Amino acid sequence: MKNSRIQIVLFVATFISCFMNISAKVVRTELNTNWQFREARLDNWYPAVVPGVVHLDLMRNKIIEDPYYRLNERNVQWVDKEDWIYQTSFDVDDNLFNCANQVLRFKGLDTYADVYLNGSLILKADNMFREWNVNVKGLLKKSGNVLKVYFKSPIKVDLPKWEALPYHLESDNDQSENGGLLNKKIGVFARKAGYQYGWDWGPRLVTSGIWRPVYLEGWDNAHINNVQLIQKKVDKDEADLQSVVEVEADKRLSDAVVTVTANGKVVSKQSLILEKGINKITLNYTMKEPHLWWTNGLGDPYLYDFKTMVSRRGKQEDVKEEKIGIRSLKLINHKDKYGTCLYFELNGVPVFMKGANYVPLDNFLPRVTHADYEKLILDAKNSNMNMLREWGGGTYECDDFYNLCDKYGILVWQEFMFACSLYPANDAFLANVRQEAIDNVKRLRNHPCIAVWCGNNECQDGWYSWGWKEEYTKQNPAYADTILSQYKKQYFEVLPEVVKEYGGGTAYRPSSPFATPDSSSDPANGDVHYWSVWHGGRLPVQSYNTYRSRFFTEYGFQSFPEYESVKIYAPETGDHDIYSEVMMSHQRGGSFANKCIEDYMLRDYRKPKDFEHFLYVGMLLQGDAIKIAMEAHRRDMPYCMGTMYWQIDDCWPVASWSSRDYYGRWKALQYFARKAYDRILVSPYVHDDSLSVSIVSDELKPVNGSFEIKSMTLDGKVMAEKTIEMEAKANTSTVVYEQPLASLLNGEDKGNVIFYTTFKTENKTYDNVAFAVKQKDINYTVQQLQQNIKPAGGGYDLTLTASKFARGVFLSLKGIDNFFDDNYFDLLPNVSKTVFVRTKLSLQDFKYQLKVMTLPDSYAN
């Protein structure tokens, strides 16, 4: 018994010793308690939440009402004209206080901020996108520390800059009038999220605050500032890798060891001398038969657990842990017989990019949760997307966003934060921008999801094709020369230099869209933003079928949110008109956009009978329009190798081009995208009095299946049919069927016929429907769908059957605390479909609330 006790004591001592040896000496605490704030010119203090922004704190303290509700945005435009003070007090524990090095790390200050610690000015910040680190050794006390952040009004700081310039910088989306500034569009002067000043889908809510965490960090001897993993050469046999470890030492250390492990296995280890200051250590190593990272749909987005450690005499000084995917990713952009191609090659495979543009999830970003980000990325994944474009008028997203893209196999087209504007790119501005770029490139470069860095959104097209160049030349040729010179330096020198030095081989493009350095975009070279449907020309939605490009980074079509979402922010019956004051306030495209929706709707659909049905038909209109585009772009591969519609999300409740509304509710477009982006697409296309059908496959191997085409009347009578046993070719698009319409109609009226196509594989049936005429010319009739409801885990299985073809079957319940796993779908005559509905309603309430609507139910006549 005595020996057993001795063994236990020895074991515990050994365990404690081992634990002490592996525990890092870096001590870190987040300063997120005891915060208060006040308007600088007043004396009243209120409790504050950090991270946060002033609008959120004002709402929590009931000083302002929710700016998203009805017309409340108008009532809070005073907030950005004021200075604000945030303050906290804190104590420091012995472990941190006794550290030789003590650093305050501000992950994000929005935007013009003077920071004081115990009465001493320690920092003057001027960039929302940068990280700020301050050595506070000697200023820090064991107890009673006071940290104060004085935020200056961005309006008051930047108005003099606007007034000092002899010309005005283009920035059309800045809603200066809504902010009481007349034509003084000052947003371009601040290194701050552009969309806060307003956009054609967003409100004007210019924030201030400590929008990302604040940490107090202490360390002795050595500290890892950053680890870069450079993937020099990767294939399925081996990965040739290089870790560049940046270590800061506070003295000369002659006995240091840097170790890199992957999934717990040592892949590289080096003994070295650390000199006082910044040390860069390069470790080269090879991993045999690596488990590669793939995009969604092509394979497993596998992530290794990488750990980089600095130790001395067996004791760990610091450690950095990251999940990193090993992959080869190249942007291919070379001349070919058509012009200049643009596509991404992943692990040696050309990959067609299917995705959408992403804007910030909220105007008040600190309230976006991990769950919110995960829902968005999962919605992209579950809609068969493999890329999101992080647009340049928002922010460089938080780590959560990129970690989730890594996890779920979603590549990111990453833009620097410049959009649709010209910027005062003098030397001081560019120095600030350079450091902003360094901070974010270094932060994001190890993420396998980062596919490309892009200098800006549409600024080059603005100069060369929106009339900017001509307007400034007309004012004064010297103005045009200055602006162009600054533009070139910003996007062709500063930003690419940062990406080249710090980006680890990630590609860079100066702008999106972009063809050549001295021209506007064009469809044969690089990427395009196609807006001739909707904005320019208001061409028919069928134009999506014929306009070709090598890569579509933007195109889109508006809709309102569905009725249950609208009732949240516009609940009064008087609001329920698209031209009501409230609805117009939540339609930043103005009456032009509303008129667009109405005109396009009446071109292709019958007039809806009321507001609720107008919203429903608008959903189908948007979904049908973008479905045409997505399918056309995929049919055109490999000439076209990417399609990303504008946009997947909203930052507030609004009429916009989004496929998910602000509340995360799927519009028809999101359901249609899931199908149009599936790994295999069967795509029927009516043109020139013929029907052609393409099979598009993203699979990396050929797939055997059975193709079938049926021409049938709305009540199910088959007019013509054909079945072909075939092989869908790997990673390409192939026309598999073509026939004159006359042979498929067999004398029947076009308005009575649909074309139903399927491709059946061993595991799944892919299907699609085409029409010979516009939706308004099809002879739909109102019908009552048969319903069968069965309880299922977390909701109900709803089975529907129609006696005739049912177009756009829309299911809804009260509120938005529910989800339909399919919606806005078409139902073949006498063919049942089961939809799972996630809801907490009782069976009785579910039956009572359930609404089932089809297109003819919306007709005014």
pLDDT digits (tens, 9 = 90+) for 774-792: 999 999 999 999 999 999 9
User: In the CATH hierarchy, which fold is given to the domain comprising 27-215?
Assistant: Jelly Rolls (2.60.120)
N-term to C-term CA, the chain: 94
What are 124's strand-pairing partners? 114
Type of residue at 302: Y
- Model confidence over 448-479: pLDDT tens digits? 999 999 999 999 999 999 999 999 999 999 99
Name the maximum alpha-carbon separation found in the chain. 100
pTM equals 0.95
pLDDT of residue 23: 45
Q: How far apart are CA 406 and CA 450, in angstroms?
A: 9
Q: How far apart are CA 598 and CA 587, in angstroms?
A: 14
pLDDT of residue 61: 98
Asked if pLDDT for residue 537 goes beyond 90, the answer is no
Q: How far apart are CA 507 and CA 539, in angstroms?
A: 34
Answer whether 680-777 and 786-858 agree in fold: yes
Tell me which H or E stretch contains 800. Answer: strand 795-801
Q: How far apart are CA 441 and CA 608, in angstroms?
A: 50
Type of residue at 539: L
* Of residues 250, 68, 91, the one with CA closest to residue 654: 68
For residue 129, give every residue at least 6 positions away whose Cβ sits within 8 Å of its Cβ, in sequence order, or none: 108, 191, 395, 396, 417, 436, 439, 440
Give strand ranges (E) for 313-390: 315-324, 329-332, 343-346, 349-351, 353-358, 387-390
Asked if pLDDT for residue 15 goes beyond 80, the answer is no
pLDDT of residue 3: 45
Q: How far apart are CA 728 and CA 700, in angstroms?
A: 11
- Residues making up the chain, counted from first to last: 861
Asked if pLDDT for residue 7 goes beyond 50, the answer is no
Mean of pLDDT values over 821-834: 97
Structure tokens at 412: 């990111």
Structure tokens at 571: 């609940």
What are 666's strand-pairing partners? 660
Q: How far apart are CA 479 and CA 474, in angstroms?
A: 9
Mean of pLDDT values over 231-241: 97
Type of residue at 94: D
Mean of pLDDT values over 217-236: 97
Which of helix, strand or coil describes residue 472? helix
For residue 43, give every residue at least 6 positions away whose Cβ sits within 8 Å of its Cβ, in sequence order, or none: none
pLDDT of residue 861: 76
Q: How far apart are CA 408 and CA 449, in angstroms?
A: 9
Q: How far apart are CA 231 and CA 262, in angstroms?
A: 14
Instruction: List the chain domain ranges.
Output: 27-215, 221-324, 329-570+625-676, 680-777, 786-858
Within 13 Å of residue 247, how many CA atoms lie on the same side as its CB? 33
Q: How far is CA 848 from the centre of its chain?
A: 37
Instruction: Order the strands of the 238-249 sheet from edge to edge.
Output: 222-234, 238-249, 277-288
pLDDT of residue 22: 40
pLDDT of residue 536: 80
For residue 592, give every residue at least 6 positions away whose Cβ sits within 8 Å of its Cβ, in sequence order, or none: none
Q: What percent of the chain has pLDDT over 70?
A: 97
Asked if pLDDT for residue 11 goes beyond 50, the answer is no
Give strand ranges (E) for 646-731: 680-687, 690-697, 703-713, 718-728
Asked if pLDDT for residue 574 goes beyond 60, the answer is yes
Q: How confident is the model at residue 21 (pLDDT cuts 50, 70, 90)?
A: very low
Q: How far apart are CA 103 and CA 132, in angstroms?
A: 10
Mean of pLDDT values over 1-23: 39
What are 246's strand-pairing partners? 226, 280
Q: What is the CATH number of domain 786-858?
A: 2.60.40.10
Total H helices, total E strands in the chain = 18, 42
Which of helix, strand or coil describes residue 782? coil
Which of helix, strand or coil describes residue 230? strand
Other CB atoms within 10 Å distance of the CB of residue 377: 26
- Model confidence over 254-304: pLDDT tens digits? 999 999 999 999 999 999 999 999 999 999 999 999 999 999 999 999 999
Asked if pLDDT for residue 322 goes beyond 90, the answer is yes
**Could you tell me if 143 and 167 are in contact, meaning their C-beta atoms sit under 8 angstroms apart?**
no
- Model confidence over 379-394: pLDDT tens digits? 999 999 999 999 999 9
Q: How far apart are CA 189 and CA 128, in angstroms?
A: 12
**Could you tell me if 684 and 768 are in contact, meaning their C-beta atoms sit under 8 angstroms apart?**
yes
Q: How far apart are CA 830 and CA 845, in angstroms?
A: 27
- Exposure of 410 by Cβ count < 10 A (0-12 exposed, 13-18 middle, 19+ buried)? buried
The sign of the torsion formed by the CA atoms of 376, 377, 383, 387 equals: positive
Asked if pLDDT for residue 14 goes beyond 50, the answer is no
Other CB atoms within 10 Å distance of the CB of residue 143: 9
Q: How far apart are CA 654 and CA 201, in angstroms?
A: 7
Mean of pLDDT values over 105-112: 98
Structure tokens at 777: 């010319």
For residue 429, give every residue at least 6 positions away whose Cβ sits within 8 Å of its Cβ, in sequence order, or none: 423
* Of residues 100, 54, 107, 42, the one with CA closest to residue 80: 54
For residue 692, give every residue at least 6 positions away whose Cβ sits within 8 Å of its Cβ, in sequence order, or none: 684, 685, 735, 737, 738, 739
- Whole-number average pLDDT of the chain: 96
pLDDT of residue 20: 35
Architecture per CATH, domain 680-777, reads as Sandwich (2.60)
- Model confidence over 392-451: pLDDT tens digits? 999 999 999 999 999 999 999 999 999 999 999 999 999 999 999 999 999 999 999 999
Radius of gyration from C-alpha coordinates of the chain: 29
CATH class of 329-570+625-676: alpha beta
Mean of pLDDT values over 190-201: 98
Type of residue at 18: C
Q: How confident is the model at residue 17 (pLDDT cuts 50, 70, 90)?
A: very low
Structure tokens at 665: 């509710």
Architecture per CATH, domain 221-324, reads as Sandwich (2.60)
